[in-house]
């Protein structure tokens, strides 16, 4: 097996163009499992873990750039102002996995159980992909094309993800049978966009890919309107409306029964987590408003 270890993005993209069969490796926490189980035997590996261009965390004009090679451990430390993303990073694996695993790898694997993905969905992020031909931005709704499939071309690398800094509280929650180090049975991320008076919610592990819940989003924005909570964080939103929000979110799930959990439980968990997430977001705004 050949191993390429480029030291710049440019060099890496040239390797990618010349050797499309070379599989990129970042933290290796997904890829090495595949190799160890003999599910994959690539002829060549392209190590992207030392590319400085992928290590960037940038903020400019309200836009945030997160390099594909940034690890979960760094996200927890350096993106505390993004509670949803930091919480998602904290739910990933164990300290060892968080020290190695990257968001780029999560995007590369494109698993419906990838914990950073529901958060990137509610940030409505763009994936920045590059090849020797140039750079393109892939809108979130076009990036995940199916279970473990993304829109990356064979000669491209993921360089970063970008989004507009959210204006409002957000969270990520994940249910698993075990209290840590567990693959999600269901994951929910919610983000309030106060300026646009919108709520975005995304579900993980309850469908072939990450799912948004547009009906719930519209309903949620509506009940905040009706109760006046957009304008006045202290305004009460009725409990039954929050419950209804949860149910609508769960209705967007397309879960299956598997060894990790039942479809019925997954749907139920989505309803509970979505309701709690919106409740917390309102609580957090109330608290911030004093």
Partner 1 sequence: MAVEARGVGLAGRAGRIGTSAARIDGLPKALGSFAYGSDLWEEGMLYGATVRSPHPSARIRSIDVAPALALPGVRRVLTAADLPARRRYGLEYEDQPVLAEGIVRYAGEPVAVLAADDPEQARAAVAAVRVEYEPLPAVTDMEAALRPDAPAVTEVGNVMRHVRIVHGDPDARADVWVEGYYEVGMQDQAPLGPEAGLAIPAPDGGVDLHVSTQWLHSDRRQIAPCVGLPEEKVRLHCAGVGGAFGAREDVSMHIHACLLALSLGRPVKMVYGREESFFGHVHRHPARIWARTGARRDGTLVSARVRLLLESGAYTSSSSVVLANACTFAAGPYEVPNALIEGTSVYTNNPPTGAMRGFGSVQVCFAHEAQMDKLAAALGMDPLELRLRNAVHTGSVLPTGQTIRGSAPGREVLERCAALPMPPDIPPTDRDRLTLPGGAGNVGRGEHIRRGVGLAFGYKNVAYSYGFDDSCEAAVRLERGIDGPVATIHTAAIEVGQGLHTVLAQIARTELGVDEVVVEQPDTEIGSGGSTSASRQTVMAGGAVATACATVRERLLARVVEALGPDAARGPLRLEDGRVFDGDVPLGGIDHFLDTPVEAREVFHHRPTTPLDERGQGENPHVMFIFGAMRAVVEVDEELGLARVVQLAGVQDVGKALNPRGVEGQIEGGAAQGLGLALLEEIQLRDGRIANASFTDYLLPTILDMPPVVSAVVEDPEPGVPYGAKGVGEGSTIVATAAIAAALRDATGRELNRVPVTPDELAGLAPARTSGGPAPIPDVPGPRAVLDYR
Ligand X SMILES: Cc1cc2nc3c(=O)[nH]c(=O)nc-3n(C[C@H](O)[C@H](O)[C@H](O)COP(=O)(O)OP(=O)(O)OC[C@H]3O[C@@H](n4cnc5c(N)ncnc54)[C@H](O)[C@@H]3O)c2cc1C
Q: Which residues are at the interface with partner 1 (CB under 8 A)?
A: 37-38, 87, 90-91, 94, 171-185, 259-262, 264-265, 268-269, 272-273, 276, 280
Given partner 1, ligand X, none, residue 31, with its beta carbon under 5 to 8 Å by kind, binds ligand X
Report in angstroms how near the CB of residue 95 gets to partner 1 at its nearest.
11
104 contact choice in ligand X, partner 1, none (CB below 5 to 8 Å, kind-dependent):
ligand X
Burial class from Cβ neighbours inside 10 Å (0-12, 13-18, 19+) for residue 170 reads: buried
Least Cβ distance, residue 34 to ligand X (angstroms): 8
Contact 125, 161 (CB under 8 A): yes
> Which one of ligand X, partner 1, none is in contact with 101 (Cβ closer than 5 to 8 A by kind)?
ligand X
Q: Are 153 and 52 in contact (CB under 8 A)?
A: no
Residue 180: contacted member of ligand X, partner 1, none (CB under 5 to 8 Å, by partner type)? partner 1
d(CA 84, CA 143): 20
CB of 119 to ligand X, least distance (A): 11
d(CA 71, CA 50): 12
**Cα–Cα dist 258/154, whole Å:** 31
Report the nearest approach of partner 1 to the CB of residue 190 (Å): 12
Instruction: Express the helix, strand and coil content of the chain in percent, nearest 5 each.
Output: 40, 25, 35
CB of 259 to ligand X, least distance (A): 16
Q: Which is nearer to ligand X, 110 or 237 (CB)?
A: 110
Q: Which is nearer to ligand X, 108 or 255 (CB)?
A: 108
Give all strands of the β-sheet with 170-175 in edge-to-edge order: 170-175, 186-193, 198-204, 211-212
Question: Residues 6 or more apart from 47 whose CB is under 8 A from it?
Answer: 3, 4, 5, 6, 24, 25
Instruction: Indicate the helix (H) or strand (E) that contains 101.
Output: none
Q: Which does 266 bind (CB under 5 to 8 A by kind): partner 1, ligand X, none?
A: none
Pick the closest to residue 27 from 112, 78, 93, 117 (CA basis). Answer: 93
User: CB 249 → ligand X: shortest distance, Å?
Assistant: 20
Q: Which is nearer to ligand X, 128 or 278 (CB)?
A: 128
Q: Which is nearer to ligand X, 90 or 286 (CB)?
A: 90
Q: Quick one: 68 or 271, whose CB is closer to ligand X?
A: 68
- Looking only at the bridges linking them, the beta strands covering 198-204 and 144-146 are unpaired
User: Among residues 16 and 275, whose Cβ is nearest to partner 1?
Assistant: 275
User: Of 65 and 109, which has the nearer Cβ to ligand X?
Assistant: 109
Cβ–Cβ < 8 Å for 215, 248: yes
Binding residues for ligand X (CB under 6 A):
23-31, 33, 48, 68, 91-93, 97, 100-102, 104-106, 108-109, 114-115, 157-158
Residues 6+ apart with CB under 8 A from 229: 223, 235, 236, 237, 282, 285
Residue 100 interacts with which of ligand X, partner 1, none, CB < 5 to 8 Å by class: ligand X
Q: Which does 246 bind (CB under 5 to 8 A by kind): partner 1, ligand X, none?
A: none
């Amino acid at each position: 097996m050949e191993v390429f270890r480029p030291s710049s993005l440019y060099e890496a993209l040239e390797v990618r163009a010349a050797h499309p069969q070379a599989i990129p490796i970042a933290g290796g926490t997904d890829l090495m499992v595949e190799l160890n189980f003999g599910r994959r035997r690539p002829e060549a590996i392209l190590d992207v873990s030392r590319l400085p261009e992928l290590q960037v965390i940038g903020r400019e004009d309200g836009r945030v750039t997160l390099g594909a090679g940034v690890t979960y451990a760094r996200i927890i430390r350096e993106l505390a102002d993004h509670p949803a993303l930091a919480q998602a990073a904290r739910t990933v694996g164990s300290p060892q996995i968080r020290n190695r695993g990257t968001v780029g790898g999560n995007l590369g694997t494109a698993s419906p159980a990838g914990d950073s993905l529901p958060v990137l969905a509610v940030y409505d992020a763009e994936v920045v992909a590059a090849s020797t031909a140039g750079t393109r931005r892939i809108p979130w709704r076009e990036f995940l094309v199916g279970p473990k499939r993304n829109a990356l071309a064979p000669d491209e690398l993921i360089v970063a993800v970008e989004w507009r800094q959210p204006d409002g509280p957000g969270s990520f929650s994940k249910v698993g049978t075990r209290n840590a180090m567990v693959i999600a049975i269901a994951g929910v991320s919610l983000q309030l966009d106060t300026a646009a008076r919108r709520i975005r919610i995304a579900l993980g592990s309850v469908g072939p890919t990450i799912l948004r819940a547009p009906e719930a989003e519209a309903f949620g924005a509506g009940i905040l309107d009706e109760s006046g909570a957009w304008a006045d964080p202290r305004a009460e939103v009725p409990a039954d409306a929050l419950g209804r929000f949860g149910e609508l979110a769960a209705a967007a799930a397309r879960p299956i029964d598997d060894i990790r959990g039942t479809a019925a439980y997954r749907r139920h968990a989505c309803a509970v987590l979505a309701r709690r997430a919106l409740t917390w977001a309102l609580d957090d705004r109330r608290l911030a408003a004093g």
